Structure 1
Amino acid sequence: MFAENWQVSPRVHDVRSELDVKIIMSDGVRVAAQIFRPAGAGRFPALLGVHAYDAAMQYTPSRPQAVQGRNAQAEAGDPQFYVRRGYAHVILNARGTGQSEGEYAHYSPREVQDVVEVIAWMAEQDWCDGNVGMFGVSYFAVCAKQVAARNPPALKAVFAPYGYTDFYRDKFYHGGILAHSFLTNWSKHLAGVRVRSWSKEGLGDDEYNIRLAALRTNPDIMAVPELAAAVKAPDSGANPLILDVLLNPQDGPYWHERNPCLEDIRVPILIGSSWDMYFLHLPGEFRAWEKITAPKKLIVGPPVYLDRPVYQYAFESLRWFDHWLKGNDTGYMDEPDVRVFVVGGDGSWKTSTAWPLPETVWHPFYLHGGGLLSEHEHWPCEGGSSYEDNNYNARTGVSFATPPLVERTEVIGPLTATIYLSTNQPEVLLFATLWDIDPDGVRRLLTRGWLKGSMRKTNPELSRPWLWHYDFTDPQPVDTTRPQRFDINLVPTANVFQKGHRIGLRISSADQDPAGSLFDIVGQGHLLQQQPSWVTVHHDAEHPSVLNVPVTGGNRIGTYMSGGSGAGRIVGASAPAAGNSISWDGW
């Protein structure tokens, strides 16, 4: 890759590999690394990636395919690409996985310390020039952010898109609702894992046993076969990890000690994701963008996760590492800091200096009777729209949509919804789904939001108009005697609603909407209530339920309930009378 004024490192080296190299940690545990480096003599910058999966999957030559269950963990990038361009590439199994010794504790502080020590070890090798970077997506990117917050002296740059930054909010408890399907499916892919239970030590035996007994009588937990099996055999296989998640249903120490302190990162870092990752990586990357003050770039791509093995972003990352590790000015830092792909129409990239985009204006769309979503104020005594969440009958919901848009309307950024509702149970689960609806009524899912009713309390000091913050520490029963207010975040999106399309919102208490893609499915599978409930969404002057939409272009004067095409002639209206006298009553 080259331009008029720069070029990346040329492809000139042969590749030498050293497999299953054992590196001794300060506590005596040996971790296994796969090392790839230029075959010739010399000292080179080195890249590091850390994972908990099958080691061979990360480097075996393979023609990339669409991401799917059996290949999703091939996230390291291609060592052949980097080594041939003058980098060493080290791929490390976290302790307690693969050929690494010790016990795995789910991105624990000890595992982060291991990586800090490995970076120091790499910098001292006779094939390394002392400059180290970290690369990879998903597991690799999450770990890289943890390590970057420690600022090891030899770590000079990180390229870590697709990496959540809050283990509670982003990964396992969306809006306080357990994402059990992701938990149980993900844990199956950990390679030869030997798990160390955090909860037995962190909670103490008495509290551990009290919470475990409560799980065994929890009908929602025990209704999920995989969770029930883990609760019945808490020490088997990866079950201690599953139990750590189940036994810590509120934000607290287990989660805090795994979350990277983003404000501490001083290493130059590139972050980002794709719009289909609303259920995992995307929220954390925007959080990282807000809190990291080091040199940084943000890229959010089309709603298609990267192929596996990962090879996209190879040249993008090479430009980044050439700049920071080799002192080769590739022009990267002269380019805009924020790049987002806008879905809809032909699709296009948009650049900016900030996020949210400076031109964003949030338009309020109120929920109305008859399924209308409109900027119009509520009419008197509009009432509400009801649905049932009934495991014995039907799990339904209520949908709202704008009139057809009269112009191309660009929506980019985070959304919020304030929903007033009543329920006959002391708990309610809320799933908010945003849709692009075409003139034929075909819906395309854009993003989602979640909220557990008992965890609805917001923190006003940390909230902003476009993003509510919840502490998730003090669950309170939902008052069943009167309507209650619930403030919901919907994960950011970027979409062009074409003329004639409608903005759609669905509110339900179950994530069982038809899925159009693999990641729509992966984003489902939350814990549902077994106790039937009846829910009413109120939309009237006293309960102004509303969706706030981040408009960056279009919808200048608002939507038209009439459809925007003007009034037509009434069927059967008479033709103009003599003298060209025309009555308006015929229209």
Structure 2
Amino acid sequence: MIGPNWKTSARKYGVIAEPDQMITMDDGIKLHANLWRPDGKGKFPAVLGVHGYHAEGQTGPITPAAISSAQWKHADQERTNASLEAGDPNFFARRGYAHLVCNMRGTGTSEGEWQYCGPREVDDACAVIEWLAAQPWCDGNVVMFGVSYFARMQLMVATRQPKALKALFCPWGNTDLYRDICYRGGLLGYQWPVGWSQTSLVYGNVRPRNHAKEELGDEGFKRAIAALMENEDIRSVPELMAILRNPGAQVNAFVTDVLLHPTRCAYWEERTVDYSKIKVPSYIGACWGNYGIHLPAAFRSWEHLKAPKKMLIGPAIYLDRPVYQLQHEAVRWFDHWIKKNDTGIMDEPPIRVFVTNTGEWKESTTWPLPQTRWTPFYLHEHALLSEHEHWPFEGGDSFEDSPWKRGRLQYETPPMVENTEVIGPIALKLYAASTDDDIHWIITLLEIDPEGRERLVSKGWLKGSHRKLDLKASKPWEPIHTHVDPEPLVPGQIYEFDIKIVATAIQFNPGSRIALRIACSDDPPKDPLEMIGCGTLRRAHASRIMVYHDAEHPSCLLLPITKGNVLNTYFSGGKFPESA
């Protein structure tokens, strides 16, 4: 890749492949890795990727295709391809970088038990960095590359500040496994761990360690499993019951660990990135379709990383698999930091976001964008969503949530008159009551086109008993919840619920509508990324939920307007009525 005044490392080397490296850890466990390095004289920097997946699939001669996530295979696939995340090692080697792709302990043909991004796994990755830096062909500089599992581990490893680690290229990496994936809004997203374990983890020969059993002891573990099997919500999911009947079998221990840690605790804390300890330059990002797994972490990383950084948020289609996209950008990033090659990458705006419905990118130096105007859209009678204040005696709307009927409410704006750009974090404030002692809020932001077709834009979640805010971390446009010490609802009592809807970037064009769907169950997914954001545990109890919207209970959606909507939405839709 070249620019008018810069160029990246040239493609000039042959490739030496050295598969089946066995790297010994301090406790004697050996990790399996495959190595590719430049066929040339001198010493070279090394790119490291660490993972828990099928080794051959990462770098095999596979034609890239659209991602297929856990439990969603394309028609011509026997296996899902989501876990093929390492990148092409030949690309790096030909440009003067060695590339080591290493299986973590308890995965593939590496020895030991898998510990799901826990401290021991981070220790091992740091040891591999030290091993790489000491190789006779290495110049002592190590960088890391890869998405998803690879990206998450990069940030975890950087908190240890290994001396040889000089830069990260880690887009699509979640950093809080509780909030980002397993318990979004405190709600168990069971379908992802079940589907992931039955596909990617099985393909990768993963042997999980049973953390909960170690914590609780044999008898305590049996009691905890029995209690889960008595939980009516859990009992309503056949896949979970099958796992709980044999919690130690194969990958079941991983799902069991997730189920037995339903609130923020030490298990999740030690798998959460501590940004204060990261000192190396980091290239972060995600895509707008990753609201259910990686997208929230990109903005968390942007806010809390103090080292040099760049952020890219792409269209809602992730990256093709096996991963190959962005490797030119990665070399440009690595060249800048470890080859002292001024590629101009730090002269450009640090943030790029793709704006849905425009086909274009927007650049910025800050997030949220400086021109953002968070505008309240109030929930009204007759399913209206509008900036207009409430009228007297509006009241509210109710719906049923039960295994016999999963009801919902939906509020829509009039048709847009202006091109209205919405970019940034979104918050929903609901005043509501239930006949039950909990509510599983599942909120969907939709675009409705002039022909009435709906498109999912983003989602938000909140378990009603987890409504307590972390006041220090929260902002008016982004509520953050503690997820400790759940407080059941008192049936019939009105509560205020602050619900985070994951940030988005979209232009609502004239004739389209903005819609808000309020429910307690997921809609059927239409693609692999929607599948990742589904599979939320539902309440087995029958309940009726009342959402209040009046002057005393001003339920509203706070939208980040960055362009347009100067005159607000027109009740008339910007059209005169036809003459009588």
TM-score range with shorter-chain normalisation?
A: over 0.9
Alpha carbons 1:137, 1:160 under 8 Å: kept = yes
SS at match of 2:406: coil
Of 416, 433, 444, 2:455 maps to 444
Q: Distance in 2 between matches of 1:126 and 1:270?
A: 28
* Structure 2 letter corresponding to 1:224: V
Q: What is the aligned partner in structure 2 of residue 579 from structure 1? A: none
Of 298, 301, 305, 2:311 maps to 298
Aligned length in residues: 567
- The one-character-per-residue Cα deviations of 1:349-373 (angstroms, maximum 9, x if unpaired) are 0000111111111000000011000
* Structure 2 letter corresponding to 1:373: L
* Structure 2 letter corresponding to 1:509: C
Of 494, 497, 507, 2:518 maps to 507
- The one-character-per-residue Cα deviations of 1:281-324 (angstroms, maximum 9, x if unpaired) are 00011111111100000000011110011011011111001111
Larger Rg, first or second structure (1 or 2): 1
Q: What is the aligned partner in structure 2 of residue 76 from structure 1? A: 86
Q: What is the aligned partner in structure 2 of residue 460 from structure 1? A: 471
Matched, 1:198 2:211: yes
Of 386, 407, 410, 2:398 maps to 386
Q: Distance in 2 between matches of 1:315 and 1:110?
A: 32
- The one-character-per-residue Cα deviations of 1:535-566 (angstroms, maximum 9, x if unpaired) are 11111111111000000000012111122224
Q: TM-score, normalised by structure 1?
A: 0.95
Q: Distance in 2 between matches of 1:229 and 1:86?
A: 50
Q: What is the aligned partner in structure 2 of residue 32 from structure 1? A: 32
Q: What is the aligned partner in structure 2 of residue 176 from structure 1? A: 186
Q: What is the aligned partner in structure 1 of residue 368 from structure 2? A: 356
Q: Distance in 2 between matches of 1:261 and 1:49?
A: 20
* Structure 2 letter corresponding to 1:353: T
Alpha carbons 1:231, 1:243 under 8 Å: kept = yes
Q: What is the aligned partner in structure 1 of residue 225 from structure 2? A: 212
User: Mapping of 1:9-88 within 5 angstroms?
Assistant: 9-68=9-68, 69=73, 70-88=80-98
Q: What is the aligned partner in structure 2 of residue 473 from structure 1? A: 484
Matched, 1:271 2:281: no
Residue 220 of structure 1: how far off its partner (Å): 1.3
What is the percent sequence identity of the aligned residues?
A: 50
- The one-character-per-residue Cα deviations of 1:139-196 (angstroms, maximum 9, x if unpaired) are 0000001001111100000000000000100010010011101011111222112211
Matched, 1:157 2:167: yes
SS at match of 1:558: coil
Q: What is the aligned partner in structure 1 of residue 76 from structure 2? A: none
Matched, 1:136 2:136: no
Of 484, 490, 514, 2:495 maps to 484
Alpha carbons 1:414, 1:466 under 8 Å: kept = yes
Q: Distance in 1 between matches of 2:312 and 2:536?
A: 28
Q: Distance in 2 between matches of 1:479 and 1:366?
A: 26
Q: TM-score, normalised by structure 2?
A: 0.96
Q: Distance in 1 between matches of 2:313 and 2:244?
A: 38
Q: What is the aligned partner in structure 2 of residue 584 from structure 1? A: none
Q: Distance in 2 between matches of 1:60 and 1:262?
A: 34
User: Mapping of 1:290-329 within 5 angstroms?
Assistant: 290-329=303-342
Q: What is the aligned partner in structure 1 of residue 77 from structure 2? A: none
Residue 207 of structure 1: how far off its partner (Å): 4.1
* Structure 2 letter corresponding to 1:499: P
Q: Distance in 2 between matches of 1:85 and 1:481?
A: 65
Alpha carbons 2:293, 2:532 under 8 Å: kept = no
Residue 108 of structure 1: how far off its partner (Å): 1.1
Of 260, 263, 275, 1:262 maps to 275
Q: Distance in 2 between matches of 1:481 and 1:9?
A: 66
* Structure 2 letter corresponding to 1:223: S
Q: What is the aligned partner in structure 1 of residue 431 from structure 2? A: 420
* Structure 2 letter corresponding to 1:473: V
Q: Distance in 2 between matches of 1:435 and 1:523?
A: 15
Residue 461 of structure 1: how far off its partner (Å): 2.0
* Structure 2 letter corresponding to 1:63: T
Alpha carbons 2:85, 2:150 under 8 Å: kept = yes
Of 299, 307, 310, 1:286 maps to 299
Q: Distance in 2 between matches of 1:462 and 1:186?
A: 31
- The CA RMSD over aligned residues, in Å, is 1.1
Residue segments in structure 1 that go unaligned for 5+ positions in a row: 572-587
Q: What is the aligned partner in structure 1 of residue 533 from structure 2? A: 523
Alpha carbons 1:264, 1:292 under 8 Å: kept = no
Residue 206 of structure 1: how far off its partner (Å): 5.0
